[in-house]
Amino acid sequence: MKTLAKEHGLFGAARAGTPEAPIFTLSDYAQGWRILSSAGAFVSDTYFDLAGLSQREKTLFFEGATVQDHLNPQLVGGAAGDSIVLVDLMSTTSLSDTELLNFYLYGNFASPNAVLTFDQTVYARINQYVVDLDTAAWGSMIQVSSNQIGSLNATASDRIYSYRLVWLVEVGGSTWSRLYTSNVRHILSVDVNEEPLYQYLMRLKRSYDLQQQPDRD
């Protein structure tokens, strides 16, 4: 069994403007991050390069997936009720900015607006954090939910795409000034094996089809 890992660096953002019309800027150290939406969404993206395996006609069988982090998000000047959602996603197909926003809303469930299928989603973790009355004064957010979705289905794809999203959910008139989240590591435990030629070719075709367009069956 092999262990594959990809890291997403520290995230930091400052909030200016007015409570009703905030302006967000990324901190200098938030390398690899970019603003996904002016409404308060941010993303870091990379990928696992599996081309060496696909060239050798190997199939990747997932034994497990997880996300490692070490601190809850920190919010400076937050008000009770301020919330953020952190999405960690590993998929066999790449997503546009609009599709990433839709994944946050719809996941991979049966919906006209879903952009990934169960098969295409290797693993995803969706965590929600809030500021409450006890923690508002010192900035640490508390976790209120953690959900996981994904198939861990075997693949012949030559890439696994790795995304980390930060989505802000604010109460009306929020005035927080800075937000920080820790580094994270996306980990896949895999076995690499050869399959019978016909079975491998069918899996290769399936992987290609899934990368070209959403699977609607």
% residues pLDDT > 70 (the chain): 84
Question: Which tens digits make up the pLDDT trace of 106-129?
Answer: 999 987 888 899 999 999 999 999
Half-sphere exposure of 17 (CA within 13 A, CB side): 14
Both structure tokens of 62: 């997932």
pLDDT tens track for 75-95? 998 888 889 999 999 999 999
Within-domain flag for 46: yes
In terms of residue numbers, what domain contains 111? 2-212
The three-class DSSP label of residue 114 is coil
Residue 217 lies in a domain: no
3-state SS, 155-197, equals ECCCEEEEEEEEEEECCCCCCCCEEEECCEEEEEEEEEECCCH
Displacement of CA 4 from its chain's centroid (Å): 16
Task: Tell me how many domains the chain contains.
Answer: 1
pLDDT at 217 > cutoff 80? no
- Residue closest to 176 by CA, chosen among 45, 48, 80: 80
**Structural domain includes residue 42:** yes
39 and 174 Cβ atoms separated by less than 8 Å: no
| Domain presence at residue 129 | yes
| Predicted structure pTM score | 0.87
